[in-house]
Chains A and B, each alone.
Chain A
Amino acid sequence: SYELTQPPSVSVSPGQTARITCSGDTLEKKSAYWYQQKSGQAPVLVIHEDSKRPSGIPERFSGSTSGTRATLIISGAQVDDEGDYYCYSTDSSGHHGVFGGGTKLTVL
């Protein structure tokens, strides 16, 4: 089986840098993706292919990977960035997806 592990929660003050990690063996060979989900809304892609930012996503969102760990970095976090963040990747075949358990980001 394949799993992605995230911390349940991360808390920062406004303007600080938030780092959310995602660990899993599959990340050694497969890309990581990050989704933001605000309460009652559908997920929104904020990072694709480890570190690429979709159009419309603020520059304060960035991503990095090293070995079996991916990190979402929010530089100068804002209150509006609060929500749940999920990492995503695939198994070695690329055919089956897996989400991390999610991390609740609090900015206060």
Chain B
Amino acid sequence: VQLVESGGGVVQPGRSLRLSCEGSGFTFNTYGMDMYWVRQAPGKGLEWLAVISYDGNNKYYADSVKGRFAISRDNAKNTLYLEMNSLRVEDTAVYYCAKQGAYRNGPMNYHYNAMDVWGQGTTVTVSS
């Protein structure tokens, strides 16, 4: 199971950036495979940003990014996206994607409402 983020870089305040996260080693578009974005500002803790359901029909955002960021997915490409608009200096962070947690117990598969596997992160720097 692997998640690989890309698309980070240096961008000026007010501009836009799109992050991608390609998944492999698991069934990306199956029920229970919600996907997440989480970020970590330099020297700070983890901040939950957004989640999208396995079929893309349900999306939820943290108040800090609602209306500026948009989460989406292309299941045919096993890829998750984060479109970031009106970027601010305080959006500077390492951005991680993660998949919904799942495990097997005997013949049964279970999912839980949190992240299990994370990508390595991609760095976004917002600076003039």
Contact = CB atoms under 8 A, between A and B. Distances in A.
Sort chain A's interface into a size bin. 20 to 34
B23 interface: no
A99 B118 CA distance: 15
Nearest to B49: A97
Contact of B48 (A45, A54, A98): A98
Nearest to A88: B114
Interface residues of B, number: 23
B115 interface: yes
B60 interface: yes
A44 B60 CA distance: 23
Given A42-B96, A43-B96, A45-B101, A99 B114 contact: no
A49 to B, nearest CB: 5
B89 interface: no
Interface in A80-107: 84, 86, 88-90, 94-102
Given A86-B46, A97-B51, A42 B112 contact: no
Interface of B: 36, 38, 45-48, 51, 58, 60, 62, 96, 101, 103, 112-121
Given A31-B113, A84-B45, 4 more contacts: A48-B101, A90-B114, A94-B113, A99-B47
Interface of A: 30-31, 33, 35, 37, 42-45, 48-49, 52, 54-55, 84, 86, 88-90, 94-102
